[in-house]
Amino acid sequence: MDRPEEPAGAVPPPSAPLVLRGREVGRDGRAVRPVVMAVLNRTTDSFYAPARVPDDAAALAAAERAYADGAEILDVGGVRAGNGTPVDEAEEIRRVVPFVAAVRRAVPDLLVSVDTWRAGVARAAIDAGADLINDTWAGHDPGLVEVAGAAGVGVVCSHTGGAVPRTDPYRVEYPSTDDQDALLGDVVATLRAAAERAVACGVPRASVLVDPTHDFGKNTWHSLRLLRRTGALSGLGFPLLMALSRKDFVGETLDLPPEERLEGTLAATAVAAWLGARVFRAHDVTATRRVLDLVAAVRDEAPPAAALRGLA
């Protein structure tokens, strides 16, 4: 399950490259940097208020700003992940699909992801130009990956421990012993099976991301343990997505509300990037981009932007 121990001082191997629509995301010549996926929610009730952008003009401006700040992917959501006001499929499509088309016209180089568990929403979003479907509810609708495969777009395979959409975890257990980590085993097995099914359904292997899905079906101890074991997840053979931004496990670890979780998020981001994660879903694009660029330079995957000290 785990890779062999690396020699002291060795750089952990990265997860597999991500390719969407034939483009290796994050590569610039010889440099390979982790990828920022900016969060934009077309909702009024998502847990982090600054990410709620229901107004069309403001949302398009936010998409343009995210691209200018260094995001290569924009993840658009139409339904709050946790408990909240019911949103049916028609309303989710209304919130998301015309906006996807608008982003495609206004920022053609920005890849667009849609955060949905519904196959019907995925189909409409792909028709509007979406490049990736972010299924954060672990195949709750088994038809979703078939829709992605038929269109040849990317898909995110996630782990929720069996939780169903829009529910919060309650006393979830993954018992561990000294010689076996049941949580990691369950996450690895679930992600591997989902990713291979996506490939079988027609999604290009390099366009299948795996996401351990921190907080979903997990308590804070679980999420911290998965962050610590990022290297094992990077070794699954698929691009590894980390959605860490301002999540509850960060807040509970530091006893902070969502609006004060930036530093904790960036610390978790740096750890995961060093251990090989490829894509980072983020509310704070500029700060995340800078952290990832520094880690890429330390890993010797990308050069410093300016290296003049001692030379000029």
Catalytic residue among 123, 229, 281, 289: 281
95, 247, 278, 289: which one is catalytic?
247
What secondary structure letter does DSSP report for 177? Answer: B
Residue 55 Rama label (left phi>0; alpha psi -120 to 50; beta): beta
The answer for residues whose C-beta is within 8 angstroms of residue 161's C-beta and 6 or more apart is: 169, 172, 174, 186, 216, 217, 218
Beta-carbon contacts of 21 under 8 Å, excluding residues fewer than 6 positions away, are 111, 131, 153
Is residue 21 part of the annotated active site? The answer reads no
To the query of whether residue 218 is one of the catalytic residues in this protein, the response is: no
Say how far apart CA 79 and CA 46 lie, in whole Å: 8
* Tokens read off for 116: 């949905």
Task: Report the C-alpha dihedral over residues 6, 11, 12, 17, rounded to 10 degrees.
Answer: -140
> How far apart are the C-alpha atoms of 85 and 25, rounded to whole Å?
35
| CB-side neighbour CA atoms (13 Å) of 122 | 27
Catalytic residues: 247, 281
